[in-house]
Amino acid sequence: MDDTEPLPSLNSSYAPTALGNHRVSEEEDSEDQGPLVSLLPKDSSGPLAMRYSPDDSYSLVYIIFFLMGIGSLLPWNFFITAKHYWLYKLSNSTSQGGGEEQRSDLGDYFESYLAIASTVPSVLCLILNYVLVNRLSSNVRILTSLGVILLVFVVTTVLVKVDVSHCRTQFFFGTLASVAVVSGASNLFSGSVFGISGHFPMRISQALISGQGMGGTLSAVASIVDLAVAKDVTNSALVYFLTADFIILLCIIAYLLLPKLAYSRYYMEAAGRTSAERMSDGEAAGTGSGVSIPPLQPILRKTWVLGLSVFYVFCVSIMVFPAVSSGIQSVNKDSGSPWTTTYFVPLTSFLVYNVADFCGRQATFWLQVPGPTSRVLPALVLCRSVMVPLLMFCNYQPRDHLHTVLFAQDAYPVVFNCLLGLTNGYLGTLPMIYGPKVVPRELTEATGVVMSFFLTLGLAVGSSFSVLIVHYI
């Protein structure tokens, strides 16, 4: 092979994507196992010695990681899809016990500030996660972050029935502070879980990312059901946040169950042995203190294109979702129909986007094209830039500066949100699952954290631009 175009080494956990759960024998002809296995190193000490690995009985480990994927993005999704509740709390009609929300500056810019409050601390927590990846066990990081998320959501649930009409500004900043804490903990959790999923076959990483998409879908469905069932907005929000409390608690129970399953225990113990060997090698070389933080340069050398792809995918998405997409109103709103007033935004913005996003993520289970070294992947990522002006020129209201509406039909935001979600799910998932597989096995967990950092950095930058876009419109 030409040295000028080196193919990144693929650690052996990349192989089971093509092979399913089948156990691999090193004596088998690599040509019979497909191109992925033929690229793997013949190292008997590595995970290729999987001929004794157990099966994932009843796909329990897949389901657990899918559930933890739901839990990792569920707090953010539950906050942003409770749009009617936040508008009610921040409006001038709260003291009247209901009624039509009156416009306020706090409500107009709440979602943009919500995005900023969630992503900036997330970046800091992912940096902390990278520093702690070899110093603090994944169990401590994951269970602590889940405990913090549950605590904040319980407080948020209690505040649903508290009258804040005389302290809306304090409630506004208190909510942003809660979002900041939850987002930091959520990213510590998701970065840690994605890191340990890198030690598993790729189907497990895919399960985690698909679960994140399902978290958004569940929150959108729950929001619509609550709007339909509960006539009072506070009763609706109470049931809504109680649902989030239950799912987070379920994630804690599921993670505690993970080490008891033979399939997950096999890969987690193998990862533990690799870490122990790396630490002992460092101590033998007299660099014991230097191995606490994983080396960043070899990770970036292999994954910088994939990382930038993840960054730009989520940067573009958060620019317009939900700050712009949830402000697009039906052109037939004056008809008074509940479908064009109450349900239009939850259906056309949140539900359509999240279902499409989940479908895009799930599609990577069967189709992984383009590959990790293809130039087509970053090219497709750049093409998503067109989604920003398309949604800006839909019927976003109120329009204070950009008065032109080019797409004055209700079908347009549905189509655009669907495309935004599909491309976000598919093009965002591929580089995320490729990243930990193109580095040496001992850097797998750290690479998972780095890829999560690129994702969150994209959200942070995109959320900053979303404020400018909303102001410009």
* Position 29 pLDDT exceeds 60: no
Q: What is the DSSP letter of 22?
A: P
Answer yes or no: is pLDDT of 12 > 50: no
CB 95 within 8 A of CB 157: no
Q: Which amino acid type is present at position 273?
A: R
Distance CA 69, CA 58 (A): 18
Q: pLDDT at position 14, please?
A: 45
Q: How confident is the model at residue 93 (pLDDT cuts 50, 70, 90)?
A: low
Mean pLDDT of 430-452: 88
Residue 238 has pLDDT above 50, yes or no: yes
Mean pLDDT, residues 461-467: 87
Look up residue 295 and give its two tokens.
């080396």
The dihedral region occupied by 41, where left means phi > 0, alpha psi between -120 and 50, and beta the remainder, is: beta
More confident residue, 400 or 381: 381
- How wide is the angle at C-alpha 129 spanned by C-alphas 433 and 53, nearest 5°? 45
User: Over the stretch 282-315, which tens digit does the pLDDT of each residue have?
Assistant: 555 544 444 578 889 999 999 999 999 999 999 9
CATH of domain 12-23+55-472: 1.20.1250.20
**How confident is residue 4, by pLDDT bands cut at 50, 70 and 90?**
very low
Question: How far apart (Å, rounded) are the C-alpha atoms in residues 253 and 64?
Answer: 10
> Model-level pTM greater than 0.85?
no
At 382, the amino acid letter reads L
Which of 190-199, 205-214, 221-230 has the lowest average pLDDT? 221-230
Contact present, 372 and 438 (Cβ < 8 Å): yes
Where are the chain's structural domains?
12-23+55-472
Query: For residue 285, what are the CA distances in angstroms to 104, 278, 279, 281, 296?
Result: 63, 11, 10, 6, 19
> Residues 264, 244, 358, 438: is their CA dihedral positive or negative?
negative
Strand, helix or coil for residue 394: strand
Res 68: pLDDT: 93
Residue 374 binned pLDDT confidence (cut-offs 50, 70, 90): very high
Q: Which residue has the higher pLDDT, 256 or 23?
A: 256
Give CA–CA dist 316/328, Å, rounded: 17
Token pair, residue 191, equals 């970065």
Banded model confidence at residue 32, pLDDT cuts 50, 70, 90: very low
